[in-house]
Amino acid sequence: MNSRGLRLSLAVAISLVLSACQQSGTLVTPVRFDRPRALGFACFDTGSSLFVELGRCEGLEEVDSETVGLTALIAQTARGEVAAVDLRTGQVLDSDERVPGFTFRRVGVDPVAIVVPPNAPATTYVASRGSRKIEWMPTAEFRPDAVGPASPSGEIVLPRGAPADLALSADGTLLFAPLPDASALAQIPILADGSLGAPTLIDLDDTLPSPALAPAGHLSSSACVLPPPTCASCRASSRDRPTPSPGWRLRPRACS
C-alpha cells in the first residue's frame, strides 16, 4: 500500500472512531415521573421572572394575554426529587440546563408533602418521610428562567419520627408536620428569611375513649333503628300522633 492509500485508510479509521465517540459520549436522560405523590402550586410571572402571590394566577389559566401562570411542583417519591411543570404551556421544566437531559431538584428520601406559602412564594418547604426531615429551598431553583431574592436552603431533622404530611398555618408563620410513629405533632416556626426554627413537639393522646352508653329509656344500640318518638305502640289520635320523618316506616318495635 502506497503512502497515499495509508493516509486515506488512517483518515477513515479516525473518522469512524470519532463518530463512535460522539454517539456514545453523551447519555441523555429522558424526562419521566417516578411514583409522583405530593403536589404544590406556585404562580410565576414571565415578565419579571419572579414567583408572585398565588392569588395573581386565580382565574387566569386560559388567558393567553397575561404574563402569569401556575407552576406545579411534584414530588418523585422513588427518586427523592421534586419536578416542576409549567401548567400554562404543559411543559416539564429542566431545573438545571447545564446538565444534559432533564434534571429535577434533589430532596430527601421519600418526599411526602410540598408547601409553597401563597403570600410568600420565594421559599418552598418539602417534608421527606424516609429522611425524617423538613427542607427549605428557593422556589426559583425549580425553573431555569426564574430569578428572585436570595433565600437560604437548609433542613431540620425531626427527632422523634418521620413526617406524614406538612401544612401551613393560616397566618403563614408556622408549619405543622404530623408524626404518626411518635403520636405527636411537630410545630415549626418560619423565620423572617424563610428558614425554619427549632420544632416544638406536641404529644397527642393515643388512648381510645370509653364507649358511650345509651341514655336510660332509649333503644339499645343493637336495636336502635327507629327514633323513640315514633314507636307504633304509642296510643294517640291521628291529630296528636307525631308525623314520621321522610324515609322512616312505623313498625311495631319493643322499646327498652
DSSP string covering 118-129: TT-TTEEEEEET
Asked whether residue 136 carries a pLDDT value surpassing 80, the answer given is yes
Residue 148 CB-density burial (10 A; 0-12 exposed, 13-18 middle, 19+ buried):
middle
The predicted pLDDT at position 148 comes to 75
Longest CA span, the chain? 127
pLDDT single digits (tens) 208-231:
677 766 666 655 544 444 455 554
- Per domain, the residue ranges of the chain are 36-159
Distance CA 195, CA 188 (A): 10
- Alpha-carbon distances, residue 146 vs 91, 150, 241 (angstroms): 15, 12, 73
Question: Quick one: cell of 183?
Answer: 403520636
Is the pLDDT confidence value at 113 over 80? yes
pLDDT for residue 94 = 79
User: Per mean pLDDT, which range of 92-96, 124-128, 179-183, 218-222 is the poorest?
Assistant: 218-222
Report which of residues 36 and 163 the model is more confident about: 163
- Quote the CA–CA distance of 243 and 146 in Å, as a whole number: 67
pLDDT at residue 192 greater than cutoff 60: yes
Mean pLDDT lowest for which of 26-30, 158-162, 167-171?
Answer: 26-30
Are 105 and 81 in contact by the 8 Å Cβ rule? The answer is: yes
Residue 63 has pLDDT above 70, yes or no: no
pLDDT, position 31 = 53
| pLDDT: which is higher, 256 or 57 | 57
* Cβ pair 123, 42 in contact under 8 A: no
Top pLDDT among 119 and 24 is at: 119
- Could you tell me the CA-to-CA distances from 233 to 71, 171, 254 in Å, in that order? 65, 57, 8
Q: Is the pLDDT of residue 114 over 80?
A: yes
Residue 153 has pLDDT above 60, yes or no: yes
Distance CA 186, CA 188 (A): 6
How high is the pLDDT of residue 138? 93
Residue 9 has pLDDT above 50, yes or no: no
